Amino acid sequence: MTSTHVRARPARRTVSPLPAARRAHRTRPVPPRGPNLTLGPGRLSRTLALAALAVMALIWLLPMAWAVLTAFKSDQDASDPVHWILPRGGFTLDAFRTVIERGDLPLWMLNSFVIAAAVTVITVAVSALAGYAFSRTLFRGRRWLFTVVVASILVPPQMLIVPWFQQMLTLDLVDTYAAVILPQTVAPVMVFILKKHFDTIPRELEEAARIDGAGHARVFWSVMLPLSRPMLAAVSIFVFIGAWNNFLWPFVSTSDPALMTLPVGITAVKDAYGVNYAQTMASSVLAALPLVLVFVLFQRHIVKSVATTGLGGQ
């Protein structure tokens, strides 16, 4: 225990200039921008821009407002063609109660969470290791392998559902978590993004650790990873959202309702129970809630994640 601690110290020393730099970055005031830069100083242009924004935001918020409104109605009021805005029988929590008591929604949320978390952890871990290998090490066939990995970014996962399914039959994994998780963990684009990110870290930062005899494992763990925390967070958020919302493969690989993820399960319910608009909207609102709440809480991180990862590191 103590010996690893002592040995880790030299590496940590090389990191010390950075937290300060990061802190400086964080506290640096947001550069003044806005009206005085892109918009004229005039009152009219400001008002017009604000009006345009308000109209668009209204159009974009309306569907969600309609879903929430419906969810708080009774089934009868939800399908009342005349009084379509305010319910005659008043607002009620009945739809939510029914949906929650049915019990499958929390289960699917849990499944989605477990699967998305597993996909995220595995994808980010193996992609970071591979990104480091392609950025910092030499071995025979490295360039050639990297070319293959980058080329495979083009392969649409949709074209692999048939062979994946055959594979899961062969491996006897149909209707298991493993079947849903494993194919989603291969993300060549994440390897590419992380490789490019590691390329930007100055080699001088590893030098001290190397002189003290640190190998690749130590350099990766105590120099590269600490310096990459914001990037790893961005990539993780991105992978998590993708896995949480993924539909086609979880839909193909699971038929057992106990293993379904949220996007697959709530669709199956509609087909099984027929149409009850108040209840479908109640389950939609509940299904939408986790990620929207997370977004409200961590808006800046998610915005940054999309901005850094969304273009595939371009």
Partner 1 sequence: MTTPLATRGRPPAGPAATGRGAALRRAVPPGLLFALPFLVLFALFMLWPLAQGVWMSLTDTSLSAHDPSFIGLDNYTEALGDAEMWRTIWHTVWFTVVSTVPLVAVALVMALLVYTGLPGQWVWRLAFFAPYLLPVGVIGLLWLWLYQPDLGLYNHLLQAAGLDGYAWLSDESIALYAIVIATLWWTVGFNFLLFLAALQAVPDHLYEAAALDGAGAWRRLWHVTLPQLRRVTGVITVLQVLASLKVFDQVYLLTKGGPNGSTRPVVEYLYDMGFTGYRLGYASAISYVFFALVVLASAVQFVALRRREK
**H helices of the chain, where?**
2-15, 17-27, 43-71, 75-78, 94-102, 104-136, 142-151, 161-170, 177-181, 188-199, 204-211, 216-219, 225-227, 229-245, 248-253, 262-273, 277-297, 299-309
CA 22 – CA 18 distance, rounded (Å): 6
Site membership for partner 1, residue 136 (CB under 8 A):
yes
Tell me the window of 12-20, 21-29, 93-101, 182-190 that interacts with partner 1 (CB under 8 A).
182-190
Is the CB of 20 or the CB of 294 nearer to partner 1? Answer: 294
Could you give phi then psi for residue 185, rounded to 5 degrees? Answer: -85, -5
Does 173 bind partner 1 (CB under 8 A)? Our answer is no
306 belongs to the binding site for partner 1 (CB under 8 A): yes
> What 8-state DSSP symbol labels residue 38?
T
Binding residue (CB under 8 A) for partner 1 from 13, 19, 56, 221? 56
- Restricted to residues 68-87, the positions that interact with partner 1 (CB under 8 A) are 70, 78-79, 81, 84
Rg (CA), the chain: 25
Distance from C-alpha of 116 to C-alpha of 183, rounded to nearest angstrom: 12
Q: Is 11 in the site for partner 1 (CB under 8 A)?
A: no
Please count the residues of this chain forming the interface with partner 1, following the rule CB under 8 A.
114
Which C-beta is closer to partner 1: that of 20 or that of 222? 222
Q: Give the CA distances from residue 105 to residues 41, 160, 266, 311, in Å, rounded to whole numbers and listed in that order.
A: 51, 29, 7, 34
Of residues 127, 310, 312, 159, the one with CA closest to residue 249? 159
Report the residue from 154, 256, 272, 274 that binds partner 1 according to the rule CB under 8 A: 154
93 binds partner 1 (CB under 8 A): no
Helices 188-199 and 229-245, interaxial angle, to 10°? 170
Footprint of partner 1 on 189-218 (CB under 8 A) = 191, 203, 206-207, 210, 213-217
Q: Measured between alpha carbons, how far is 177 from 168 in angstroms, rounded to an integer?
A: 11
Minimum CB–partner distance for residue 77 and partner 1 (Å): 11
Residue 164 binding partner 1, by CB under 8 A? yes
Query: Residues 256-285 vs partner 1: string with x where CB under 8 A?
Result: ------xxxxxx--x------x--xx-xx-
Q: Which is nearer to partner 1, 182 or 259 (CB)?
A: 182
**Per the structure block, which two tokens stand in for 126?**
């193996």
Residue 178 interacts with partner 1 (CB under 8 A)?
no
Query: What is the closest distance, in whole angstroms, from the C-beta atom of residue 226 to partner 1 in the complex?
Result: 17
